[in-house]
A and B are shown apart, each in its own frame.
Chain A
Amino acid sequence: MSKPTPRKIVLKGRGVTGGVAEGEALVSPRPLMGWGMVNEKMGYTTEEGHPLFEVPFKGRVLVFPGMRGSGGFVMYGRTRAFDTHPAAFVYTRGNSVMYFASMNAKVPTVTDLDKDPVEFIETGDWVKVDGDKGVVEIIKKA
């Protein structure tokens, strides 16, 4: 009996910040918020009622639709100073403050993909993010 081949999906988009990284996906169906709503020392959101409330993102590929709220969203990038930063960012659509977060985190980031990453990636999938080529490879969890 042959092992089933893990299902692989490739999404193509635009690299925001370069480099290549991989890790287990952590997917937020809802936008993320910064300022008081992220604890950069603990590396998680402090937004009560949010699906990722207190879920650490360190070393994960953080996949989310976008941000809302304050420019304090850059604190997602300043997690780098506390070594709690994600391995990579994949967001459906970016804005200036999200680009600044990526530049601060210094991790690969891809956005503007041909398909909505929040729909195609599930928490637990293995995801490789190539910020140089703007490509996201997803190995679906078994």
Chain B
Amino acid sequence: MLQLNTEEQRILDGSHGHMAQKCMEFLVAYGEAAGAERLVDIDGTVDIHPNSVSWVGDFPITQEEIEELARKGEKFKVPTYANKPVNPGLIIDGWETCGTRPNNDPDYHNKCMQNLKPLIQMGMVPTLSCDYYLVSTFWPTQGQHCSWGESSAIPWCNAVLGARTNFDGCFQAAYLGRIPYYDLHVPENRLATIRVESESVLQSDMEYDLFGWAVGEFCGMDVPAIVGVGSPKINQLVKMNSALCTGGQVRMYHIVGVTPEAPTLEATKKSPKWAKQAAIGRKELRAAYELLNTAKTDEVDFVYLGCPHYSIEEVQKVAWLLEGKKCRISTWVMTNPATYRLAEMMGYRAMIEGAGANLLSGTCACELRGECPPTDVFATDSAKQAYYIKGHAHPKELGVCYGTTEDCVKAATTGTWQGEWRDT
């Protein structure tokens, strides 16, 4: 049974206004469904998906209500970041030349951007990305309570930063600065029950992506302690997190000697004995690679890069690979709006567009639900995008080529897939 303190009870009774009461009604219903015993004050951060700021239809927060709050000068109680807009997806930058409707329509674009303004007036930082954490310039610190709402971002908060979140970022949490306290807010639930060993030190970004997939499938929702991967780069952690929460639902993990709650293997253990153990090697990575590669032909007609949204280092890599070349097929390079500015300043937008590709920000092929260049064979360097795009295309039989960023750029400039791992 959820217990509210005096202040929270007063909010529920309506003494802090109608919106506060509505938000508290949602937190109470959610807390009871979750079996939480209390709420916790958020001392970290929140993210919300514009256009879909509430998770449950019976607890709506309408655009009109948000406009009214903004007019009255109301602010979010805690630092709040914009995830990618959803339902529908929105191209923030590069829409003018994307070639697909309705995003290339100026009236549509301006109206959608206008709709974001009240949230921004309330304090939502317009990071507008699934990997807003890469550019937010403000992170929660270890142990702080958060409310994040993006599958690929949840392990960033929990595992990489050591802050604490469930998968529940929403308007109500941002407005009240509170969230039900249960599951990953509770220290003992963050400890590992599974030990996963990498048979070799992981090198490439793709290996981290495939490793994430394999670990996700093995662990489901449980917390693993990972040993033997080596020392991952930032991009590799972003990719691994995304795959961990596609092949599975690994919201929290430890990499011994790397992540903040894992100084030693012993420190990560929930009980003296592991519930499960696995060694993951080339065979498991290969199985994930085969699962993701479903195209029956090498003739690719659309290359999608940027899931999660590319960091500046990844945009740079693609810009340099494309410099002086010409794409033979539609090629989209997706980043977040802040990185888009950096890419413009560094001349990468010009390089990418000069090669006939599009540099875009704020959404992805899956989120656009078919609003992409027409495709029968889709190539990408992201396990998450490779897997989901087939579901989004259903009942159409879409072929997918999955491989390294280099494989994808080669496909873009030749129209042919020559995946590095294909025949090994």
- Seen from chain A, the residues whose Cβ lies within 8 Å of a Cβ on chain B are 14, 16-17, 31, 33, 35-39, 46-48, 65-71, 74, 77-78, 80-81, 93-97, 99-100, 102-104, 106, 109, 112
Contacts and interface: CB of A to CB of B under 8 A. Distances in A.
Interface string B74-100: 000000000000000000000000000
Contacts of B57: 77-78, 80-81, 104
A31 B366 CA distance: 21
Given A35-B366, A96-B34, A96-B168, A71 B151 contact: yes
B125 interface: no
B224 interface: no
Given A35-B391, A99-B33, 6 more contacts: A16-B35, A38-B391, A48-B394, A94-B34, A95-B249, A102-B33
Interface string B137-170: 0000000000001110000000000000011100
Nearest to A34: B391
Nearest to A74: B55
A71 B149 contact: yes
27 contacts: A16-B33, A31-B249, A36-B390, A36-B393, A39-B394, A48-B390, A66-B220, A66-B221, A68-B220, A68-B248, A69-B388, A70-B245, A71-B149, A71-B167, A78-B57, A80-B57, A93-B221, A95-B167, A95-B221, A96-B166, A96-B183, A97-B167, A97-B168, A100-B30, A100-B55, A103-B56, A104-B55
B29 interface: yes
Contact of B392 (A36, A94, A104): A36
Nearest to B169: A71
Interface size class of B (residues with CB under 8 A): 35 or more
B291 to A, nearest CB: 8
B35 A112 contact: yes
Given A14-B35, A36-B388, A39-B394, A68 B249 contact: yes
Interface in B209-242: 216, 220-221
Interface of B: 29-30, 33-35, 55-58, 149-151, 166-168, 183, 216, 220-221, 245-249, 251, 366, 369, 388-395
A96 B168 CA distance: 6
Q: What secondary structure prevails in chain B residues at the interface with A? A: loop
Contacts of B168: 96-97, 100
Most B CB within 10 A of own CB, among A14, A31, A70, A81? A70
Contact of B151 (A31, A36, A70): A70
Contacts of A95: 166-167, 183, 221, 249, 251
Contact of A46 (B29, B58, B248, B391): B391
Nearest to A70: B151
Contacts of A97: 55, 167-168
Contacts of B56: 74, 77, 100, 103-104
Given A17-B33, A96-B166, A66 B249 contact: yes
B101 to A, nearest CB: 20
Contacts of B221: 66, 68, 93, 95
B184 to A, nearest CB: 9
Contact of B216 (A36, A68, A112): A68
A109 B57 CA distance: 17
Contacts of B394: 36, 39, 46, 48
Most B CB within 10 A of own CB, among A31, A74, A93? A31
Contacts of A37: 388, 391
Contacts of A112: 35
Nearest to B166: A96
B175 to A, nearest CB: 17
A106 B33 CA distance: 12
Contacts of A71: 55, 149-151, 167
Contact of A47 (B248, B391, B393): B391
